[in-house]
Amino acid sequence: MLKIWGRRNSSNVQKVMWLIGELEIPHERIDAGGSYSKLDSPEFRHLNPHGKIPVLEDGGLVIWESHAILRYLAARYGAEHFWPTDLAVRATGDQWIEWTQTTLLRGFSDVFWGFYRTPEQERDPAFIKGALARLNGDFELLDGILAGRRFLLGDQLSLADIPAGMALYRYFEMEIARPSLPNVEAWYAELQKREAYRAHVMVPFDELYGRLSF
């Protein structure tokens, strides 16, 4: 049985748990990180010397870094639409996973930490304004890509949807200014229909508010 180390309200853990839910893989999740600590324990450092979540154990195999875990799960347990045999199709999805990591989630992290997790009296309004403008621009780009599509690559959920789609719940729940994004909103509505998304991504995050150290 798979073991996943990481707290339920960690965004990186949520990506992994969402895919596990979609694939209906038997698993055990072990709370770690945040108020659960454990990351500096010898047991955890043996699994991940960097002391970060998530960590996946599959038998004797240990994998850390959320996107490496996603690719492993898709390759080992996923159907064709999660791990295409056509390398061109796989690369098309992979480029969106990389863009999400290097661009979209970097901007999202700046907004989430700068606005939501920083105590109000310590916020940098200029930084937040700039970060939000960049993030909204990234979502406007996605809005154009999603025109006429149910999901990021077409009519079927793929691995490319997981990293970017994970951010939507927090993006739309935060009290921030957002542009008109009809296609992104339609995509979000499609994701909300999925039981695994509701169970593993739509997790309340109120306890993170204004808590840089959490």
Domains of the chain: residue spans and CATH: 2-77 (3.40.30.10), 87-199 (1.20.1050.10)
What's the pLDDT score for residue 35?
A: 81
Long-range CB contacts for residues 179-185, cutoff 8 Å, separation at least 24: 179/136, 179/139, 179/140, 181/139, 181/140, 181/142, 181/143, 182/143, 183/142, 183/143, 183/144, 183/145, 183/146, 183/147, 183/149, 184/139, 184/142, 184/143, 184/146
What's the pLDDT score for residue 214?
A: 47
Q: How far apart are CA 32 and CA 28, in angstroms?
A: 13
What's the pLDDT score for residue 36?
A: 86
What's the pLDDT score for residue 126?
A: 96
Q: Which residues of the chain have pLDDT under 70?
A: 212-214
What's the pLDDT score for residue 34?
A: 82
What's the pLDDT score for residue 212?
A: 64
Half-sphere exposure of 179 (CA within 13 A, CB side): 16
Q: How far apart are CA 96 and CA 40, in angstroms?
A: 33
